[in-house]
Amino acid sequence: MNDAAIAIPNLLYLYAELIDAADFIGAARLFRHGAVITGGQRVEGEKAIADMWRSWMRLYDGKPRTRHIITNPIILLSGDGQSATSRSQWTVLQATEDYPLQPVATGRYHDSFQRIDGQWCFAERNYAQVDLAGDLSAHLLKSLKDA
């Protein structure tokens, strides 16, 4: 898709959909031309990125039982129209058999994108910050500081 105003938000939302489905390989494929920055480390390569997410998230019958909601994307397109940056906010909701539906954390992504062969792709996602954190015991396998 060539229209940045549609393609970039679609990438943001597709990431959330794939993570909530525990399709870590599919989500990592979105970064095949890029990287994820977390805890000051740059993680590249589909396998390394998917393995990182697997090491973070607790699964229930193969799913994290989460809903990642991405809001307020602010997209800045470069002058030549071949790259862009975005700041967005995220909220994670979760419910399990023993854990009532509730927001567990909110934060921000800082992303960059590039057009490759006419298609918009993630160039980099920076898990910029967690703004608010609640009870993450049903969601994460490690503390936020270690993720």
pLDDT tens sequence across 90-100: 999 999 999 99
DSSP letter string, 46-101: HHHHHHHHHHHB--BTTB--EEEEEEEEEEEE-TTSSEEEEEEEEEEEEEETTEEE
Report d(CA 13, CA 69) in Å as an integer. Answer: 8
Residues counted in the chain? 147
The token duo for 78 is 């470069």
pLDDT in tens, 39-79: 889 999 999 999 999 999 999 999 999 999 999 999 999 99
CATH topology of domain 4-146: Nuclear Transport Factor 2; Chain: A, (3.10.450)
Amino acid letter, residue 139: H
What pLDDT shows up at residue 128?
76
pTM, whole model, 2 decimals?
A: 0.94
- At residue 88, does pLDDT exceed 90? yes
- At residue 21, does pLDDT exceed 60? yes
pLDDT band at 2 (very low <50, low <70, confident <90, very high): low
Closest CA to 111 of 79, 85, 77: 85
pLDDT band at 36 (very low <50, low <70, confident <90, very high): very high
Supply φ then ψ for residue 78, to 5 degrees. Answer: -70, 160
- At residue 101, does pLDDT exceed 70? yes
